[in-house]
Amino acid sequence: MRSVKRPIAALLALALLLPLGACSLLVPPRRSETDPPAAASTPAGTAPGTSSAVPAETTAETTVETTAETTAETTAATTAETTAATEPPDPAGFLARQEDGSYLICRAEDDAADPADSLDAVELAVSGRTVFLASNVMTFDGAASGYARHAVLRAFDLNTGKQIGSARFNGDLSWSAAAEDGCFYAAAGVAASDETGAAGVFRWDPARRQARILFEIPARPDGAFFSPDGTWAAFVYGADGCVRLYDLPGGSCREIPLDGVGEIWDVQPCGGTFALNAYVDNHSAILTWDAEAERLVEPDVDEAFYLRENGWLCVDNLDCRAFRPANGGALSLIRTEDSLLSLSGDYALFYRYDYADDVLAASLLDLRSGLAAPALTALDGEELGFSDFFASPEGWFLLLRRYTDAFELDLLSPAESDFTEREEFRLLFRSESGDLDAACAELAAGLEDRFGVEILYGPDGNDFDAFDYLGRPLNGGLANFLALTDLSESLSFWPEGFFADVTEYCRGLRLYLCSTLYCVSDSGIDSAAALTFSSNGYECVVFDASYPIVGNLPHEFMHVIDARIESMPAEDQPDWFAAWDAVMPDYIRAEYADSYTVWPDDDYTYWYASDEVWFIDTYAKTWAKEDRARTLEHLMQFYRDPASESCFEIENLALKARFLCFMLRNVLPCCADFEGELPWEAAVGVPDPAEFAEVMEQAGTVVPVG
């Protein structure tokens, strides 16, 4: 267990369908005294015609007491072997291979030392064929305290299905690792906050098939790393602000002082060394261990990154995620709506849950190529009680699933999976050097050439004069690249010629990308996701990139279209704004507050009104221009996601939407002769000009042709 256990609520479900390259270990829970006896000869779930498993060769379970009085390996070994209590062979320590290729872990009914209500450590040897399972147990010992805590370790060979060793030791196991030579290392004992008891580092040796105490430590650490070659370990103790390096197996200790570090947590393997999270000079930082210089260093990474398992750094930005190793290397940006479970090697494990069908599907993603492979599918998730996951640095994933009557451990191997292009995943960007500044400049220049707009980001992203509104700049190349990527996708929805049309009567369109828009006066909204204004002959749109640009851009572009309408020559042009008002009854037009400071009520709104609906929400009632903007925003939302709920099933809202579509076909030359549906017409269809002849006449205008 390389970090504290991470429970994931209702992730995995029953009826596993395993792909090639995956196997599962099914662990039945310990039966109670009231349960009927189980068949001793054949494990539950063994298919008819399948021979039962061969019992494991006899392995005495070794009790390891963490009471060594010296840190010398020889003395510790002598103590461990002297206190070892030989126990009867474990008749149920084997794996039964079933027809589907999965494994069933069998145990004796009275095996109180290894209850199935917890598996606190799961490790896989580098070969991928030896699995270690450990459980922390509390039992009544009759002493003054009444209870004692200990842990039980079992090792299984997946090639033979046999248990190859087991051990029991005092205290809770908290951190563990499987070394390259097949040994299992762990720190166990009491926590640093406990006043009694001891803690130690132990090793399970596959050759000797027993656990041996290597040396004592002050207390069970809050974080630990064991080197892959089994020659050293690094322990941290929460608020100590230092790292203790131990030589293995001898136990000599070197304390590494860290200037300015107040607290350390979450130690993770990282390319043969380790990385950790820490508070440094009153800010959260990621540190990596430089083994050659024997010091911790703070890598030059974007502040948005956070540390994940196996030394990966991640950033979640809505449906886009960024990945890079903490000790340097390639950067990958992935577009997906799936949820991240774990990272191992150059692979990520994602999942998505279909609540309608109660189905969960997991996928392995190659971060280098963006290709994905199905990992598993689980059904009927209501019977799932608990799940957890583990990942080895070598590229294996282990998923633990607890059912009402069993444990199942699934081993997923990327090397044996079939990776293909999948629509759920899209590789947006891959840089071996991670140079995002150059990537941002190239992407922005390409968008400007393609759409004829001006894009300002980074230190220029908040350099605007928009009444009483200010914005903070986007910090870091990653934040700017994600914003530009979001903008690129948002601009691609608009028809050819659109940007030339909206800038026909102005000097151009400027798009600003910043962070945290806010108002410094009482005349506006406290905070805004985006805003539009005119400045020096330019139409300007500012986006707070912490919100999805793809959703806010249609709203702001409607304001830009309104500005075009106001700038069009008055001759032979209908009064489109008067016509918009004429679509609604007089008492509905009176609902507009014509203010951002006097907030309207919920009357006649889609989300609150139960009878007569004319507005999508209260914001649409502030001004007629916001009503039109809200309408175009939701029309484009339906175009992007036709399966989403549509407010335009309400006839009054559909009527206003059809008129808006009719208006856009007349004020934008690129839309006048467009054949078929324009993107924003997907929800209501192509408008019929005859439907609005009376409205235009009431507004004192003529019905435009087309």
- 532-582 tens-digit pLDDT: 999 999 999 999 998 999 999 999 999 999 999 999 887 667 899 999 999
Q: What residue type is assigned to position 452 of the chain?
A: G
DSSP string, 116-139: TT---EEEE-TTSSEEEEEEEEEE
Q: The tokens of 134 are what?
A: 């450990």
- Give helix then strand counts, H and E, for the chain: 11, 39
Whole-angstrom distance, CA of residue 116 vs CA of residue 216: 29
Given pLDDT bands bounded at 50, 70 and 90, which one contains residue 514?
A: very high
Q: Which residues contact 184 (CB under 8 A, 6 or more apart)?
A: 123, 132, 153, 155, 176, 177, 178, 203, 204
Position 136 scores a pLDDT of 76
DSSP string, 248-271: TTT--EEEEE-TTEEEEEEEEEET
Whole-angstrom distance, CA of residue 481 vs CA of residue 439: 7
pLDDT in tens, 640-687: 999 888 999 999 999 999 999 999 999 999 999 899 999 999 999 999
Position 555 scores a pLDDT of 97
Position 429 scores a pLDDT of 86
pLDDT exceeds cutoff 60 at 190:
no
Whole-angstrom distance, CA of residue 634 vs CA of residue 616: 9
Q: Which residue has the tokens 């609540």?
A: 355
Q: Which residue has the tokens 């080895």?
A: 392
pLDDT in tens, 587-630: 999 999 999 888 899 999 998 877 899 999 999 999 999 999 99
249 close to 263: Cβ distance less than 8 angstroms: no
Q: The tokens of 133 are what?
A: 């399972």
For 552, list phi and psi in degrees, rounded to 5.
Answer: -90, -25
Position 140 scores a pLDDT of 59
The rounded mean pLDDT for the chain is: 76
Per the confidence metrics, is the pTM higher than 0.85?
Answer: no
pLDDT in tens, 139-171: 655 555 556 677 778 888 777 767 787 877 777
Residue 191 burial (CB count, 10 A): 16
pLDDT in tens, 304-346: 788 888 888 888 765 788 898 888 878 898 989 898 888 888 8
Given pLDDT bands bounded at 50, 70 and 90, which one contains residue 407?
A: low
